[in-house]
Amino acid sequence: GTDLVLLKVMNENETSLYLSHSDKTPENMIFNTEFPFSAYAKSDGTVIIIERRDSSQRAYVSKNLEEADRVYKADTILYLPDRDEFIGITSSSTDEGEKLTYTLATLSGDEVGELFEGSNIGRRATAGSGQQMAIYTTNEESVEIFIIDFNSQKEIDSNDDYVAIEKVGAANTGDLL
């Protein structure tokens, strides 16, 4: 395989990403923005970019040294490298307060399914394998923790025996939450 180089060039108001073969001068600008972003380069040359705008985030994908295409938009976007998918988090107002919806989406931006919806959501953690997510909600009397399976997009376990949870964490590899 040919080695690829991802180069970030910053000027006064914009940042550009270039991707090229290591033996050539960077010539393929794949992304340009005035907003902060994160980029994830895969071994096949695909680059996933999450751009953070003021009120939302956008996901872009570049393949074959081509300019990145916008594929997905949500209030918050998480990239799951082990699954090559996104979690989109959207917020809406209800009578009970803010409700968050977690949706699983492919790299092409197609929504696979809703993972979780709820109010008063605390922290979340995704297992290192990218197969499960732990998330908890709070109310005046208790805390309920949920384990969500990404493959089935279903809750596989929950427990409301807690009074408080300080934080949720996950192992870097495997399914340990």
Residue by residue, DSSP assigns 71-123 as: EEEESEEEEETTTTEEEEEEEEEETTEEEEEEEEEETTS-EEEEEEEEESEEE
pLDDT tens readout for residues 85-105: 999 999 998 777 788 999 999
Question: Position 92: which residue type?
Answer: S
Joined together, the tokens standing for residue 147 give 């384990």
Joined together, the tokens standing for residue 37 give 């972003």
A 10 A CB-CB count for 134 gives 19
| Whether the Cβ atoms of residue 37 and residue 49 lie closer than 8 Å to each other | yes
pTM of the predicted protein model? 0.82
What does the pLDDT read at residue 105?
Answer: 95
Rg of the chain on CA atoms, in Å? 19
pLDDT tens readout for residues 158-168: 676 655 555 55
Give the mean pLDDT of 127-153: 77
Expressed in angstroms, the distance from the first to the final Cα of the chain is 36
pLDDT tens readout for residues 45-80: 899 999 999 999 999 999 988 999 999 999 999 998
| Whether the Cβ atoms of residue 144 and residue 157 lie closer than 8 Å to each other | no
